[in-house]
Amino acid sequence: GAVVSQHPSRVICKSGTSVKIECRSLDFQATTMFWYRQFPKKSLMLMATSNEGSKATYEQGVEKDKFLINHASLTLSTLTVTSAHPEDSSFYICSASTIAGSTDTQYFGPGTRLTVL
Amino acid sequence: GNSVTQMEGPVTLSEEAFLTINCTYTATGYPSLFWYVQYPGEGLQLLLKATKADDKGSNKGFEATYRKETTSFHLEKGSVQVSDSAVYFCALKGLGNEKLTFGTGTRLTIIP
């Protein structure tokens, strides 16, 4: 089946630094990628939706200047957490879809655990 | 807005036991309903889905029936196996092409 990878799986950084998380679709072309975050014992919350070659659409309350999303190719999207702070510590999950904008055919990555000291 | 409430875990069962994980939802109109499973170290995978009232989704021995009258989509399996140990997420998608709304997830552990 379709496989989505994330790198790194775990990252620890100092407050004020930036962290980049990669999401790759390994065996299919992803026209749409989604970024979620999950706090302990909470639901997955959609942060943004990105279509290849265009700007990401952010959910209400998500700071676009803090969470930079780039979807430059059909197999790679990146999420950069800029000037990270401890409250940004979370589990970040990406998913990829083969049909533009469709949420029925999402394939999920294994997630990235970010800890900001 | 849309929301999903699912049974808090963790849930621990013996092999061959009967499983129920409750899920209820709040949504306008008639959403599509999903169960996703996340095995250790892997991404979420779609387990089953139902798109209209009274539909029953099924896969790998798991079943869930879309109950509009009780706004529920409970996950069931008659005889669980150790390999079913995972985190299970209930989710819904509203009309059109809206985003997925997830429950908090239920961690299931099956002991031999």
Per-residue pLDDT of chain B (112 residues; tens, 9 = 90+): 889 999 888 999 999 999 999 999 999 888 999 999 999 888 889 999 999 999 999 999 999 999 999 999 999 999 999 999 999 999 999 876 568 899 999 999 999 9
Give yes or no for residue A99 having a pLDDT over 70. Answer: no
pLDDT category at A116 given cuts 50, 70, 90 is very high
Average pLDDT over residues A112-117: 96
Distance CA A114, CA A21 (A): 9
Interchain proximity B43–A108, CB inside 8 Å: yes
Q: Which residue of B has its CA nearest to A94?
A: B43
**Contacts with B99 from chain A: Cβ below 8 Å:** 34, 46, 49, 59, 103
Interchain proximity A108–B105, CB inside 8 Å: no
Interchain proximity A108–B45, CB inside 8 Å: yes
Q: What is the DSSP string of A28-92?
A: S--SEEEEEEE-TTS-EEEEEEEETTSPPEEPTT--TTTEEEEEEETTEEEEEE-S--GGG-EEE
pLDDT of residue A102: 63
CA-nearest of B102, B26, B36 to B71 is B26
- Residues on chain A bordering chain B, Cβ-to-Cβ distance under 8 angstroms: 4, 34, 41-44, 46, 49, 59, 93, 95, 101-104, 106-111
Contacts of A40 (CB under 8 A, 6+ apart): none
CA A56 to chain centre: 11
Name which of A34, A102, A106 is nearest B97 (Cβ-Cβ): A102
Distance CA A113, CA B43 (A): 13
Q: How close does chain B come to A33, measured CA to CA in Å?
A: 12
